[in-house]
Structure 1
């Protein structure tokens, strides 16, 4: 995992803006406003949901982290599981068998908007909500939960059916671990985006579909009122438009491009610092083993030998990606690189296809997103063609692509993802049979791998850390050898930042995939 590198040149004149900045005549508003406003440009066309339990999209994750808190959290700028610290909880204990966890809440933590102090009842409601498929995208993460109880107004007890190697990860300030107000949730009646009541440093002021989300400083934040008065989160899907908006002085922070060419080109921009940080998102070519001809391991191995990873790394750029031979992202607890390697060998691919009964090669139909991996798809097509594999690509709108791959409609799914940095979650969601399409426990809904179920399940309840690592390593070795997926590389997060914006911490990684804005963030 790379540490963020700041690439600076010159000084940019950055105006301070109010919410009116993003109306038709922004310049005067920028000059007139005395408030300290951070203007952010994100790559999506609109928010998916401000309900933190209902969306896993990057554009939502970034802003959720500014609004909500969890029982515990990563220190800002890190995702090291060994450094998890108190957030809404001030302390916690676990039973010797790892099945009972007790959290004591910090006194005085308040919800936004006058919804009162956080109680154990709110936490119980939030965790049950996160574990319910009707109200949470992350329900399967909480399958091992047996009971969540309020012992008293400040004490929460979680009882597990089986030990969870990443229990603190599940209650960390991310995804299903975010705490919401029970009262606000009940008032929202299923429309929580309109409420978005959390405990974080910033609170919702206004949301305008396909335009922006405006946040203001939480005056009651228990770590202190933020130094920044307002954050305006603008939806700017076109890459070039975000670049131009920064150069025009309209943005202070924006989603960049995970490409060396973009980094090299933007280095010369006055007042710009390029931030490259973790977690690296593992890019995988997932093969649909339920669909012919990928039900034959010889065909899957032919694909593996047809892929020249070095070309992909060169194409995307060494500053933003790191080669990875395994099916778990680099640096995760339980990761191993001691897996089978498939050397680039198109002739071997052709021989394997011939042995599988395809002497003239094969043709596969692949759905692709029009927002991610568009250009490298062409590189993938060219590499496969050299091995006698014709890839008929159909690019569809990103949201439609997500829906269609979850209906088992593509022979191959090129996917990029990161999770809480413990091997269990990644292996379970992508390579356990319980995640296969059509099953109620499905998560990614394009996984068709069952070769390592035993190891994944055993590792989850293993109390010996050494044995647990061995099981996770064995699972990766089986999955790679069976070619459930072909790993390409880990791709870091890339953002642009005004040199006048200081996060208030060293940015090495962020579990939300975007820079964390905290009470210490300032705009000079």
Structure 2
């Protein structure tokens, strides 16, 4: 195999030297991402993309989407080997594998661990995704290897909530209890890779779980490196110091990297929806004319052109396209003149100032700089409070930002996206808070009704009406949908085709290989 090798620049070389952790194993996969640091590796708490990337390789669920896939129609057994459901859809019974062990010294996994984990996922005290499990009335261990879930009412996708994504990731009770608040920095799962080491702002190191129930992984170590500098990350990949890289969110990066020898470039799904959430509770955003002005000032086509058509596509609703329940909406057209008229009608002929907490993560910062310029053209001055990515997630949940730029994918069912971002119970700072940064509650009735609607056609109607109301109220301004740009050298061999994963990083499991 031929590989182009470039001399590392001084900065990149220094960075890579500081990232080492002992002697690298022969089967070490080096991964680089443009993040600054982790926030938490607790899967029931993690919301940052790069945290979820690592979680992707450590945890199992009762079920999973097929390796390399993220669509719910590919769901297959994981910790559960089979399941049955009652005729009314309210009782689900899962038979567990008997060969699953918790990583470290935490022993075999049993039904009690499943009960503990799902109850933990359903509690707002221990989970950021508790609202997703509101219908889980009772979780019972019938014996050591049988779990029964009783629902208070039918919900759109029971199995979807049990994949290893967000609350569906299974945590062993002994580990969760012993580690408590430290679990997020010392995670323990049952997956193919185990947590080994973390160095702040440098790396997370995982090692192969030799007792993994599907077999010991061929890769023996993963070094997940934080390389915030685009140039340093590119040089590290080009030199062969990094095998797999989360790249720049730019078409030019995809085109240029694809020209490297022995390199595969791919945009993986699911596509995240990127939108501006407008805080309706704060002036001047409490005036719908101001929110409409912002919507008319955003040039979605221009943003897609900036990001690249291989990476992005224009948003068409307040939930991503392709989700069960998605209904395309008539969004405000790009019309700067109309935006200025609306500001004048609202009493702001000289424009307005808005404040936003903004992450320094390059992919998001560059988008917001374009948005900032578009808004400035109509007299909307968007002032940045620039912070690192973990601090960004912390501060937007403290309701410190009038405008929140957020990119997200969720389990591809309308209920979850609508609940987390637009149900009033999910408004930030509430005891039941999730990610409703806009303080929007205009579609509560439709969102609530759709959760328990038994008629699938009527359920779709309710979800469509909820989207229409949210768009009409301009709770958020949808901009574009974007996939994850990855490149890997041909040392990395995936056993199955790679479309993506719900956790937004390539599936690396016991079958993934490194070849010389």
TM-score normalised by structure 1 residue count: 0.91
Q: After superposition, what is the alpha-carbon deviation per residue over 1:144-199, rounded to whole angstroms, capped at 9, x for unaligned? A: 22211111111111122232212222211111111122122222243225653221
SS of residue matched to 2:447: helix
Pair 1:302 & 2:312 matched: no
Mapped to 2, the partners of 1:26 and 1:62 lie a distance apart of 20
The corresponding residue for 2:248 is 257
User: Could you tell me how far 1:114 is from its partner in structure 2?
Assistant: 4.3
Instruction: Work out the CA distance in 2 between the residues paired with 1:217 and 1:400.
Output: 31
CA contact (8 A) 2:493 2:513 kept: yes
Between 441-450 and 192-201, report the one with greater CA deviation.
Answer: 192-201
Cα deviation 1:454-512 (Å, max 9, x = unaligned): 11111111112222111111111111111111111101011121112112111112111
Partners of 1:350 and 1:261 lie apart in 2 by 34
Question: What is the number of residues matched between the two proteins?
Answer: 506
Whole-angstrom CA distance in 2 between matches of 1:491 and 1:378: 17
Counterpart check, 1:148 vs 2:139? yes
Residue aligning to 1:520: 511
Aligned residue number for residue 320 of structure 1:
311
Is 1:124 matched with 2:115? Answer: yes
Q: CA deviation at 1:250?
A: 1.0
Mapped partners of 1:146, 1:454: distance in 2: 22
1-structure distance, mates of 2:66, 2:5:
31
CA distance in 2, matches of 1:179, 1:28: 30
Identify the match of residue 459 of structure 2 among 468, 471, 482: 468
Runs of 4+ in structure 1 over 6 Å off: 24-28
The structural deviation recorded for 1:356 is 2.1
1:10 offset after TM fit, Å? 6.0
Q: Is the 8 A contact 1:435 1:447 kept in 2?
A: no
Q: 1:138 to 1:301 in 2, by over 3 A?
A: same
Residue 351 (structure 2) pairs with residue 361 (structure 1): yes
Partner of 2:330: 340
Query: Equivalent residue for 1:197?
Result: 188
Match of 2:449 among 446, 455, 458: 458
Matches for 1:280-291 after TM superposition, within 5 Å:
280-291=271-282
**Which residue number in structure 2 is paired with residue 161 of structure 1?**
152
2:205 paired residue number: 214
- 2:433 aligned partner: 442
Please state how far the C-alpha of 1:12 moved relative to its aligned partner.
Answer: 4.9
Please give the alpha-carbon distance, in whole angstroms, between the structure 2 residues aligned to 1:24 and 1:335: 46
Q: Distance in 2 between matches of 1:406 and 1:90?
A: 38
Q: Which residue of 1 aligns with 2:421?
A: 430
Larger mean Cα displacement after TM superposition, 117-126 or 210-219: 210-219
Q: Secondary structure at the match of 1:213?
A: strand
Structure-2 change in CA distance of 1:114 and 1:400 (3 Å)? closer
Distance 1:216 1:13, change over 3 A: farther
CA displacement at 1:363 relative to structure 2: 2.5
Shift in Å at residue 25 of structure 1?
11
Structure 1 range deviating more: 399-408 or 504-513: 399-408
Contact 1:504-1:518 within 8 A present in 2 as well: no
Contact 2:85 2:93 in 1 (8 A): yes
Is contact 1:246–1:252 with CA below 8 Å preserved after alignment?
Answer: yes
TM-score by length of 2: 0.92
3-state SS, counterpart of residue 385 of structure 2: strand
> 2:360 aligned to 364, 370, 373, which one?
370
Q: CA deviation at 1:27?
A: 13
- 1:180 aligns to 2:183 (yes or no): no
2:490 is aligned with 1:499: yes
Matches of 1:24 and 1:215, distance apart in 2 = 17
- Could you tell me which of 86, 91, 111 is aligned with 1:95? 86
Q: Quick one: distance in 1 between partners of 2:396 and 2:184?
A: 26
Query: Relative to structure 1, is the Cα distance of residues 104 and 481 closer, same or farther in structure 2, using a 3 angstrom cutoff?
Result: same
Query: Secondary structure, in 3 states, of the residue corresponding to 2:126?
Result: coil
Aligned partners of 1:209 and 1:127: how far apart in 2? 30
Is residue 274–residue 405 contact of structure 2 (8 Å, CA) maintained in 1?
A: yes
Residue 56 of structure 1 aligns to a residue whose secondary structure is coil
SS at match of 1:55: coil
Q: Could you list the per-position Cα deviations for residues 241-280 of structure 1 after superposition, in whole angstroms to 9, with x for gaps in the alignment?
A: 2111112221111211111122123223233221211011
